[in-house]
Amino acid sequence: MRRALLLALALAAPASAQRAAAPFSVAETGRGYGSLQDAVQAIGGGRGTILIAPGTYRECAVQTDGMVTYKAVQPGTAVFERETCEDKAALVLRGRASIVDGLVFRGYSVNDGNGAGIRIETGDLSVANAMFLDSQQGILGGNPSAQRITIDHSTFAGLGQCDESVNCSHAVYLINRGQVTITRSRFERGTGGHYVKLRVPSFTITGNSFDDSAGRGTNYMIDLSEGGTGTIAGNVFVQGAHKENASTLIAVAPEARTYPSNGLAIEYNTATLAPGAPQGPAFVTDFSHAALRLGANQLGPGIQPLVQR
């Protein structure tokens, strides 16, 4: 009987060791998987957390259902690079909801110029403690629903392009009929397009750093393409010297007045020009003709507070 028990333990050991060594594991079941897509499929239409071990991965996944959390075991040590699903992104999300925590995405480029770390197509999204580096886009999403998208304590660097495809790409580009919240995040070293481009009715952009001093070929810091209302407060802006468009830092409704901008609060921000940056940009250029609430912003020499078009 003792020999039978030892044999059973010996046979079970390789499977246990394999689960322990698997880079992707579902926290709720303890099961490990060799690929991220297999872990997503295991959660299916349910709710689950995929724990991702430290490493560099040429992996991507498509989520079509459920509520999935993608979480690095140690923030900043799970790095995804280059490999896209559906010629779109590392994570293509169209489930009920998704959370991304502590992951790094870098080196994404596809033929249509929209290679991204995350493509959010349906469902709510929360991103925290993440990094998006040296790609055509960081986060891209569009859906005609009341999505809620939040980005917190994340870094966006080396993103955007206007010369690889017909349309520009941006560090963050989101379209929906809900709400976008961006807090405590850093945008820097842009390579084209805008740092944040939104087509949404409601937004909160607070406590962020927009450092364009090492940017190349960049446009606006924040582009509220079709208007909208909310709060832009407590951010720090540095306008760089190598702009494609140096006319303004924040543009309100430059393309359409789809969403009312009355009451949009832009206050308690700081903005300066980097050495060599063109003089005379507007801090805010308003195309909406709405009653904006422009509060106490600290603007450096050479920056106009408001220009109306």
**Which amino acid is located at 82 in the chain?**
R
How far apart (Å, rounded) are the C-alpha atoms in residues 63 and 57?
18
Encoded tokens for 35: 């690929």
Residue 166 confidence class, pLDDT cut points 50, 70, 90 = confident
Q: How far apart are CA 17 and CA 30, in angstroms?
A: 12
Which residues, listed in sequence order, are joined to residue 105 by a DSSP beta bridge? 80, 132
User: pLDDT band for position 9 (50/70/90)?
Assistant: very low
Contacts with 97 (C-beta within 8 Å, 6 or more apart), sequence order: 67, 68, 123, 124, 125, 126
* Residues 84, 112 contacting (CB under 8 angstroms): no
Q: What is the pLDDT of residues 113-127, one digit of tens each?
A: 999 999 999 999 999
Q: How far is CA 223 from CA 203, 220, 226, 303, in A?
A: 12, 6, 9, 18
Task: State pTM to two decimals.
Answer: 0.93
The tens digit of pLDDT for each residue in 58-98 reads 999 999 999 999 999 999 999 999 999 999 999 999 999 99
157 SS3 class: strand
Residue type (1 letter), 88: K
